[in-house]
Structure 1
Amino acid sequence: MAKYLILYLACVLVFFPLDFIWLSTMGKSFYFRELDGLLLDQPNLVIAGLFYLAYVAGIVILVAAPAEGDVLKALLMGAVLGLVAYGTYDLTNLSTVKGFSPLVAAVDMAWGTALTAVSAAGGVWIARFFA
């Protein structure tokens, strides 16, 4: 259980700051422009927090732990998880939400792929120091 907690905290240390930087820089300049009228002025932080807690748990359970200390394996498996997870969200929105932008779908899927890959690999790398 300690292994999972260490991996979880290590992945959090990578995921949260990177996504905060992305959203705080791209949020107003890109997402609001592209999704005019679809976004709330302020996100629901409780729901966002629940997503983050669950998603990082998914990174740990599906990628970081199975990578068994192999940073490259975590990077590649993280990329797959990110593409599938963000792709599910973005492609579903693209197919069902009027006004959802194909550009947003492409950019967000690329971001989710990179973010999940780097978070998994970084988490595995950091966790090595505490094992």
Structure 2
Amino acid sequence: MSTKHLVAWAVTFVVLLVIDMIWLGVVAKGMYQEAMGDLMSPNPRLGFAAVFYLAYPVGLLVFAIVPGLDQQGVLRAALLGGLFGLFCYATYDLTNLAVVRNWPLALSFIDIAWGAVVSGVAAGAGAAALRWFASR
């Protein structure tokens, strides 16, 4: 991975982490707790969360940021990031709807939409950072 890609990954990581922590820890915290009830762990396993937050920006870089900049620019990268998020979060939520007893349907729709939004914003930020760094 080149330095410019590392910078793009880092910006994507920070934006994703900060926005998602605001969403999960403040804005939608009560909604998730109410909808999931006993399914939600009282003590999240932070190691697994760390693996997700470190790896997911790599997916955004490979499937959204670089292809988006190669094609049409930051907006295209953000759109591809949103689609990546839609499909990734839909995979998670639809699988849970299929196999987890009492998985909340409404929460799945909200979570899928959130995945698209946060992924699009993070990919757009990563693409802007990559474009800026590459132009220096």
Fold conserved between structures, TM > 0.5: yes
For 1:121, give the aligned amino acid: G
Equivalent-residue separation in structure 1 for 2:130 and 2:66 (angstroms): 10
- Residue identity in the other structure for 1:97: V
1:83 corresponds, among 69, 82, 86, to: 86
Structure 2 unaligned spans of 5+: none
Contact residue 63 and residue 120 of structure 1 kept, 8 A = yes
For the Cα contact (< 8 Å) 2:60–2:123, is it kept in 1? yes
RMSD of aligned alpha carbons: 1.3
How far the C-alpha of 1:62 sits from its partner, in A, is: 1.0
Q: What are the superposed Cα offsets for residues 4-63 of structure 1, whole Å, 9 maximum, x if unpaired?
A: 111101211211100010010145311110011001012100010001111111011111
Identity of aligned residues (%): 35
1:48 corresponding residue in structure 2: 49
Where does the alignment leave 5 or more consecutive residues of structure 1 unmatched? Answer: none
Distance 1:78 1:19 in 2: 15
How far did residue 122 of structure 1 move? Answer: 1.3
Q: TM-score, normalised by structure 1?
A: 0.94
What SS class does the counterpart of residue 38 from structure 2 fall into? Answer: coil
Equivalent residue letter for 1:125: A
2:20 is aligned to 19
- Comparing both chains, which one has the higher relative contact order based on Cα–Cα distances under 8 Å and sequence gaps of 6 or more? 1
Contact 1:75 1:117 in 2 (8 A): yes
C-alpha separation between the residues in 2 aligned to 1:115 and 1:13? 12
Corresponding pairs, count: 131
Counterpart AA for 2:117: A
Greater alpha carbon shift after TM alignment, 81-90 vs 55-64? 55-64
